[in-house]
Amino acid sequence: MTRPEPNSNSPSSNPAGARLHEGADIIAFRDVGLRYGRGPEILSDVNLSLPQGSFSFLTGPSGAGKSSLLKLCYLALSPSRGHISVFGQDAALLDNRETQAVRRRIGVVLQDFTLIDHLSVFENVSLPLRVAGQSRGQYTQDVTELLQWVGLGHRMQAFPPTLSGGEKQRAAIARAVIAKPNLLIADEPTGNVDPEIGRRLLRLFAEMNRMGTTVMIATHDIDLIQELDARVFRIEDGRIFKGLNAQSDYGEGIS
């Protein structure tokens, strides 16, 4: 499959943000802390940056704060303290329209798939394009091609409740990448698929990355981490340990 180029950083295709120069940070966290209500801090003093075009893994034990950190990345949560910059803009200063424009540049795959049950696989995957104002005629071919590529060509008209866990996962990934996002965030994207499909999905992420998309994947899967020579952020007790290397630091696996 020939996947089209991801969004460029030209002003015309970048309604929410300024032009990013090569290697600039797509996302930057500065002393970020997060707490829910008056509870304890889930994340503390997080300093993190994702350079444009980078490929990173986020790993750590369950409950360490991986999902919360990802939610901060796609602006589903606001930090309790610190600053987050997305596509060169201070996230705290974005209004609703700008926030949503930023979100349209981010593809998200969540653990629970978040597919809409009464929409077919085709409709679910085309949702980001529909939201962006494209007509059915404009996106039908792209969606069809992508679904065939992820192995769901024969399930396009099926509804999520009838799909297996792996099929739902692939549909969620297809939805995340269909709009050719600048940043792709995935939370355990291969958790429900067999190794063969898992490798295929990882190849899709790698290809997206090769074309310029910045990718961040949260996973427990050491085999997946070892597949690529990528940066690894390890999160423990709400604090992040960065700069690890997938193959050198995780060659013998993590506990």
Partner 1 sequence: MNGPLPSQQPILLTRGHNVRTLIIVLAIMAFLAALALLFSRSAFRLSGDWQAQLSNSVTVQVSLGPISSANDFETQMSRAAESVRTVVGEDAEVEVVNQSKSQELIQPWIGNLDLPDSLSLPGLITIQTGEDARPPNAVLLKSQLEEDGIVASVDDHSRWADQIQGTARALVVGGTALLILLLIAGVSVNLFATRSAMAAQRSIISVLAQVGATDSFIARLFVGQAGRRSAAGAGIGVLAAWLLWAALSMFSAVPEVFWSNLSQVINDILWLLGLWCLFVLVCAIAAGVATKRALIRERKRA
**Does position 138 bind partner 1 by CB under 8 A?**
no
Helix axes 136-149, 165-177, angle to 10 degrees: 130
**Does position 203 bind partner 1 by CB under 8 A?**
no
Asked whether 183 and 17 are in contact (CB, 8 A), the reply is no
Q: What is the rounded CA–CA span in Å between residue 185 and residue 121?
A: 20
Residues recorded for the chain: 255
Q: What is the rounded CA–CA span in Å between residue 51 and residue 229?
A: 15
CB of 48 to partner 1, least distance (A): 21
166 to 195: interface string for partner 1, x by CB under 8 A: ---------x---x----------------
- The correct pick among 2, 12, 62, 96 for binding partner 1 (CB under 8 A) is 96
Q: If you compute the radius of gyration of the chain from its CA atoms, what whole number of angstroms results?
A: 18
Residue with token string 């809409």:
116
- The correct pick among 60, 73, 94, 103 for binding partner 1 (CB under 8 A) is 103
Residue with smaller CB distance to partner 1, 27 or 232: 27
Containing H/E element for 108?
strand 106-109
- The correct pick among 19, 132, 245, 251 for binding partner 1 (CB under 8 A) is 132
Residue with smaller CB distance to partner 1, 141 or 248: 141
Q: What is the rounded CA–CA span in Å between residue 175 and residue 116?
A: 11
- The correct pick among 131, 203, 207, 243 for binding partner 1 (CB under 8 A) is 131
Contact positions vs partner 1 (CB under 8 A)? 74, 76-78, 96-97, 100-105, 108, 114-116, 118-120, 122-123, 127-128, 130-132, 136, 140, 144, 148, 153-154, 156-157, 175, 179
